[in-house]
Amino acid sequence: MSTATSGHYFQSCDGLNIFYRDFGGQNDGTPVICLPGLTRNSRDFDDLANYLSNRRRVITVDFRGRGYSDYDPNWQNYHPLTYVSDVWALLDLLNIRRVIIVGTSLGGLCAMVMAAQQGERISGVVMNDIGPEINPAGIARISEYTGRAAPVTTWAEAAQQTKDIYGEWLPGFSDDDFMRMARRAFREIENDSPRLDMDINIGRAVREVGPQKGDPWKLYSALIDTPVTLLWGVLSDILTADIIEEMKTVKPDLEVVPVADRGHVPLLDEPESLRAIDAFLESVA
């Protein structure tokens, strides 16, 4: 099985160090870039990247304020337009002219922005449990906990906090499964104590910056001529059946793949998710 090269950094246009990993760089074909969710980081894609890297080059990135990337001293920069600017800078640095995007939640929103800005560079998109409209109940839930989780002092506490936040959306998960999730969302900083691997000011941005200007359905319409597969956690409080029906009205060829026993979001290791991603990559140059 292929593994990632050691991590790399590049500088954003405003001087922050942004972290990324590069898997399967020897492969031909359109590369894949994986964009994470609001409070998560590139480690969520390690298994998927390893799974794909015998066939495709796969880039995973920590958005600013997450993982090994620098925190932004101006919390108001925590929004999709800034993240997208960083992703374009990375793709240009790597001389990647066309790309396939796997976008989880926030990452899927960024994919829509990228399609609206430079659609000719997007070969296809896998959107993971996100659409141009977000169910208000899901927004309220995420706004409530983002950046407000109590500090933990042990890995057991980190796993329990992960279970408290995500347990309802991951029925059947074991304590070991939640520990594995925690290991990707937290990092030992000092004295072997885990700390959530994100800037708490991201929560402030969610609550105070509010929606970006512009019509999100117009951004989604930029994908009309682009192959898109939508992974839907059927228990999701973010992406609902009504929103999906409207998405299909705008884009009739949208491929929707329900993922059983998952809410927001599928973890991309489910058999349904892997089959869908495999089929998508086989169909996209």
pLDDT of the residue at 2: 39
Tokens of 117: 């800005």
pLDDT of the residue at 1: 36
Largest interatomic CA distance in the chain: 54
Q: Decide: pTM greater than 0.85.
A: yes
Could you list the pLDDT tens digit for every one of the 285 residues in the chain? Answer: 334 456 999 999 999 999 999 998 788 899 999 999 999 999 999 999 999 999 999 999 999 999 999 999 999 999 999 999 999 999 999 999 999 999 999 999 999 999 999 999 999 999 999 999 999 898 888 878 887 888 999 999 999 999 999 999 999 999 999 999 999 999 987 777 899 999 999 999 988 876 555 689 999 999 999 999 999 999 999 999 999 999 999 999 999 999 999 999 999 999 999 999 999 999 997
Asked if the 8-147+212-283 domain carries CATH number 3.40.50.1820, the reply is yes
Domain with CATH 3.40.50.1820 in the chain: 8-147+212-283
Neighbours of 13 (CB within 10 A): 10
265 cis-preceded (ω within 30 degrees of 0)? yes
pLDDT of the residue at 214: 67
Helices (H), the chain: 46-52, 80-93, 106-118, 136-145, 155-166, 175-185, 201-208, 216-221, 241-250, 271-283
pLDDT of the residue at 208: 85
pLDDT of the residue at 213: 58
CA distance 37 to 62: 10
CA distances from 215 to 113, 116, 168 (A): 11, 11, 31
